[in-house]
């Protein structure tokens, strides 16, 4: 790889955040902690975010890892177990 190729590449730092769903109001929508993009469980298009991984424990959703498509931050959603207990 020549030095010119190295100069053209951008190193982007991925930011990681945790959002506890038990601490937000509404129906599960929240703003990306970095850029404020609206992330809503009603958005099925994946224009705003993408689901990277979902963790299930004891047949219940435990956590979800999302990527904000605007700023590429990774957002770890937690609190599903508590929400499932209150239903």
Whether the pLDDT of residue 87 is over 60: the answer is no
What's the pLDDT score for residue 13? 82
pLDDT tens for 51-73 read: 999 999 989 999 999 999 999 99
Contact 27, 21 (CB under 8 A): no
First to last CA, the chain: 57
Domain boundaries, the chain: 13-86
Phi first, then psi: what are they for 31, rounded to 5°? -90, 145
What's the pLDDT score for residue 3? 46
Closest CA to 35 of 66, 77, 72: 72
Tokens of 62: 């435990």
Note the pTM of the prediction, 2 decimals: 0.79
How far apart CA 33 and CA 50 sit, in angstroms, is 15
Whether the pLDDT of residue 82 is over 70: the answer is yes
How far apart CA 30 and CA 50 sit, in angstroms, is 15
């Amino acid at each position: 790889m020549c030095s010119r190729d190295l100069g053209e590449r951008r190193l982007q730092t991925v930011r990681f955040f945790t959002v506890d769903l038990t601490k937000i109001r509404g129906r599960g929508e929240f703003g990306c902690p970095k850029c404020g993009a609206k992330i809503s469980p009603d958005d099925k298009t994946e224009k705003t975010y993408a689901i990277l991984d979902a963790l299930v424990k004891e047949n219940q959703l435990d956590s979800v890892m999302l990527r904000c498509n605007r700023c590429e931050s990774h957002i770890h959603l937690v609190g599903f177990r508590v929400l499932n207990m209150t239903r």
